[in-house]
Structure 1
Amino acid sequence: MQIQNIETFQTAIPLHTPFKTALRTVTIAESIVVKITCEGGVTGFGEAPPTHVITGDSLASIDFAINRVFKPLLLGMDIDAREQIFEKLHGSMVGNPSAKAAVDIALYDCIANAASTPLVSFLGGYRKEIETDYTVSVNTPQEMAADARKYIDNGFNVLKIKVGKDQIEQDVKRIQAIRQEIGDDTLIRLDANQGWNAKEAVKAIRQMESLGLDIELIEQPVNAYDIEGLKYVTDNTETPIMADESVFSPLDAKRILENKAADLINIKLMKAGGIHQALKIATLAQAYGVECMVGSMIETKLGITAAAHFAASQPNVTRYDFDAPLMLTDDLIQGGVTYEGKLIRLGTAAGLGIKKINKQYIINQQ
């Protein structure tokens, strides 16, 4: 079944509340959407948001990579020979992981649609539903405590707290304020987004441990390239440490796992270049007995549907960070996963189950 056409659409949907981390503030979810059409009318969709400070991808670079590099290479190829397709896709450019991910996701959607099976079943079918956390943006301790209370009242029982934007003493105050507001029954995990150095991280984490703040895990406390610093934090604290920005590729994961530099790995399709490479990371981590989270950027329900299907298919993916669509004022797509509060149902439709793109959010098309 040959690939006949590859189209891209630039889209934008406002967030109802600004999303703030140590690295950036986001108010609009922008993305490049990919549609691949194969023989017999089989179609697949993918998405790539620009995340300059993490992946280096911009709207312009994503669009250029897809239309000027990937499209000429892939047109006419047979999706039944998917290993050849993915080899060509990932070998065609250095970097550009989000652009690769969008095309990769659309290809997997085509493949599963052609097989008339949900993508989660095609990939392994380990689970049919999962539960997401909800992210508390970095703000003042009082604002973050109020936000945490709101999310708990809305039925979420796992919160991901953003820290690392300023001095560690302020981060400790943030977590204290949140714990005082929501009590001890809620699971909380922290994400520093590379905001500390190794010694600062150990000091902050030990202080939180001594205060009994009961943190489930700390995500990416140090710079992505500071593997020695990441290992130092992991070795000198009791709280589990998760690598995020330090792991883009299977080779990155191998380096972390071999050096025992982190206790957990956060896999994101937009870092890995899509499902094909993400599967390799998950399999490698499983071989080392390491559990994974699957997270996301500020993506619409299109990208999150793909990430959820991948995450639910793998036995060692035990944590899910898929709240981004809940931050948007509307859905980009009709179909895909369904949310019931924290619960995400994958459904039984073939592929990703995407019915159509809501045209009012399309800015331009190629």
Structure 2
Amino acid sequence: MKILQLETFRTAVPLHTPFKTALRTVKVAEAIVVKMTCENGIVGWGEAPPTVVITGESLSSIEWSIQQVIKPAIVGEDLLNFEYLFQQLHTLLVRNSSAKAAVDMAIYDCLAQQCDLPLYQFLGGYRKELETDYTVSVNSALEMAEDAAAYVKKGFDVLKVKVGKDDIETDIKRIQEIRKRIGYEINIRLDANQGWESKAAIKAIGKMEDLGLNIELVEQPVPAHDIEGLKRVTDGVDTLIMADECVFTPHQALEVLKTRSADLINIKLMKAGGIYQAQKINDFAEVCGVECMVGSMIETRLGITAAAHFAASRKNITRFDFDAPLMLAEDIVVGGITYKGRKITFPAKPGLGIDKVKV
């Protein structure tokens, strides 16, 4: 079954509220959408958002990588020789992980459709339903507390709170204010997005522990390159520490796992280059007794549907961060995963279950 065509389209969907982290503020979710067509009529979809501050990719670089490097290498090849396709994808082009991820999604979508299976079952089928957290953007303490209370009222019982943009005391006040509003039954995860140095991170997390703020985990407290600093934080606090931006590849995951530099790993398809490599990261982590979360960038339901299928397929993936589509003012996807509050369900259709993307 040959791949006949690989097309790319640009999309831009506004957010209903700006998304703010220590690294950036996003008002519009831009992306390159990939459409793969096979000779038997099967169509597969993929998505790659430009996240310059994390992956280093822009809309133009993603588009160029797919059209000028990846497309010539795989169009005309047999889809069922998928190991060859993935080797081509990951050896012809270094880095450019989001561009690879979009094509990877489309390949897996087509493969699962060919087997007449939903993708999560094609990949392993461990669970049929997921629950996502919801992210509280960086703002004033009172505004963050109001946002947190609003999300709890909508039924979200796990909140991912962004910190690391300002000084430690300001961050602690934010968490204290949030706890005043939502109480202590709601699970809180912090994401510093590389915003602290190791000593500051240990001080901040230690103080939050002393104050009894009941934080489940802190994600990527230190700069991505500082694996030694990450290990110091992990060893220096009781709170679980999750690696994120420091783990793009299986090799990077292996380094974090060998040195026990983090308690958990956050896998994102846009960092890993797609499901093919993400499976390897999760497998390494599982062998080492380290659980994983699957997260995302600011993506539409297209990219999140692929990530959710992967997350549902594996036992070792125990946490899910798939709230991005809930932040968008429009929905360009017909089919795919369905949200009911914090619960995510999968369509009873093969592949990603996506019927159409409005491009």
**TM-score of the superposed pair, with normalisation by structure 2:** 1.00
SS of residue paired to 1:326: helix
SS of residue paired to 2:350: coil
In the TM superposition, residue 5 of structure 1 has moved relative to its aligned partner by 0.3
Q: Which runs of structure 1 show a deviation greater than 2 angstroms over 4 or more consecutive aligned residues?
A: none
Q: Which runs of 5+ in 1 are unaligned?
A: none
Checking the alignment, whether the CA contact within 8 Å between 1:197 and 1:229 is kept in structure 2 is yes
SS of residue paired to 2:189: strand
Q: Partners of 2:347 and 2:8 in 1: how far apart? A: 26
Show CA shifts across 1:79-118 (max 9, x none): 1111000000110111100000000000000101111110
User: Does residue 300 of structure 1 match 2:297?
Assistant: no
Q: Partners of 1:216 and 1:346 in 2: how far apart? A: 28
Checking the alignment, whether the CA contact within 8 Å between 1:35 and 1:106 is kept in structure 2 is yes
In the alignment, what sits opposite 1:91? Answer: 91
In the alignment, what sits opposite 1:71? Answer: 71
Letter in 1 for 2:225: Y
Q: Partners of 1:226 and 1:267 in 2: how far apart? A: 18
In the alignment, what sits opposite 1:252? Answer: 252
In the alignment, what sits opposite 1:351? Answer: 351
Q: Partners of 2:54 and 2:266 in 1: how far apart? A: 14
Checking the alignment, whether the CA contact within 8 Å between 1:118 and 1:351 is kept in structure 2 is yes
Q: Partners of 1:31 and 1:83 in 2: how far apart? A: 26
Checking the alignment, whether the CA contact within 8 Å between 1:128 and 1:347 is kept in structure 2 is no
SS of residue paired to 1:80: coil
Letter in 1 for 2:108: Y
SS of residue paired to 1:41: coil
1:141-160 equivalences in 2 (<5 Å): 141-160=141-160
User: Does residue 122 of structure 1 match 2:127?
Assistant: no
1:278-293 equivalences in 2 (<5 Å): 278-293=278-293
In the alignment, what sits opposite 1:337? Answer: 337
User: Does residue 42 of structure 1 match 2:42?
Assistant: yes
In the alignment, what sits opposite 1:30? Answer: 30
Q: Partners of 1:110 and 1:19 in 2: how far apart? A: 33
In the TM superposition, residue 347 of structure 1 has moved relative to its aligned partner by 2.2
Checking the alignment, whether the CA contact within 8 Å between 1:44 and 1:106 is kept in structure 2 is yes
In the TM superposition, residue 349 of structure 1 has moved relative to its aligned partner by 0.6
In the TM superposition, residue 230 of structure 1 has moved relative to its aligned partner by 0.0
In the alignment, what sits opposite 2:139? Answer: 139
In the TM superposition, residue 330 of structure 1 has moved relative to its aligned partner by 1.5
Q: Partners of 1:357 and 1:202 in 2: how far apart? A: 45
Q: Partners of 2:289 and 2:346 in 1: how far apart? A: 26
User: Does residue 230 of structure 1 match 2:230?
Assistant: yes
User: Does residue 15 of structure 1 match 2:11?
Assistant: no
Checking the alignment, whether the CA contact within 8 Å between 1:44 and 1:110 is kept in structure 2 is yes
Q: Partners of 2:57 and 2:44 in 1: how far apart? A: 22
Q: Partners of 1:10 and 1:262 in 2: how far apart? A: 36
Show CA shifts across 1:202-261 (max 9, x none): 000000000000000000000000000000000000000000001000000000000000
Checking the alignment, whether the CA contact within 8 Å between 2:8 and 2:32 is kept in structure 1 is yes
**TM-score of the superposed pair, with normalisation by structure 1:** 0.98
SS of residue paired to 2:230: helix
1:42-61 equivalences in 2 (<5 Å): 42-61=42-61
Show CA shifts across 1:286-339 (max 9, x none): 000110000000000000000000000010000000000000012111000000
How many residue pairs get aligned? The number is: 359
User: Does residue 168 of structure 1 match 2:168?
Assistant: yes
SS of residue paired to 2:40: helix
SS of residue paired to 1:78: coil
Checking the alignment, whether the CA contact within 8 Å between 1:89 and 1:100 is kept in structure 2 is yes
User: Does residue 82 of structure 1 match 2:87?
Assistant: no
